[in-house]
Chains A and B, each alone.
Chain A
Amino acid sequence: MRIMFKLTKRLLEKVHARLEQSHPFAFERVGFLLCRSGRLDDGGVVILAHDLHDVADEDYLDDPGVGAMMGPNAIRKALQTSYNRQASMFHVHMHLHRGRPHFSGIDETESAKFVPDFWNVQPYLPHGAIVLSEDSACGKSWIPGLQAPVEISQFSVVGIPMRGI
Chain B
Amino acid sequence: MPRPLHKEFLKGLWEEIPPFRLVLGLCPVLAVTMTVENGIGMGLATTFVLVCSNVLISILRNQIPPKVRIACYILVIATFVTIVDMLMQAFTYPLYQKLGIFIPLIVVNCVVLGRAEAFASKNSVLPSLADGLGIGIGFTLSLAALGALREAFGNGTLLGHSIFGPGYQPLTFLVEAPGAFIGLGILLGLMNLISQRR
Pairing of A with B: no
